[in-house]
Amino acid sequence: MTIIHAIEKILADLVDTSVFDPHADLFEQGINSLQIAILIDELNKRFNLSASLDVLTEGASITALAATLSRKITLENIG
């Protein structure tokens, strides 16, 4: 499962929709801070990461979050 698909699946479990614009800001799509925190926690578990909410500094869209987490996975695997 790709990171993008994992993000979409987790979000779909948290809200009443499974349709997201991967390039739009998650907050503008109705996702709240608590749901974002749960999303990050679930992604940490799924991909064995130690990410925090600061991953959103690169952008709060699904694609931006996936790119940031992908870089983090690469860095953690190298280190």
Span 18-30, pLDDT tens digits: 899 999 999 999 9
Contact 31, 65 (CB under 8 A): no
What is the 8-class DSSP label of residue 61?
B
Residue 1 pLDDT > 80, yes or no?
no
Q: What is the pLDDT of residues 36-75, one digit of tens each?
A: 999 999 999 999 999 999 999 889 999 999 999 999 888 8
- pTM comes to 0.89
Determine the Cα–Cα distance for residues 46 and 57; give it in Å rounded to an integer.
21
Residue 79 pLDDT > 70, yes or no?
no
> Phi first, then psi: what are they for 61, rounded to 5°?
-95, 165
Percent of the chain residues past pLDDT 90, beyond the cut: 80
> What architecture (CATH level 2) is domain 3-78?
Orthogonal Bundle (1.10)
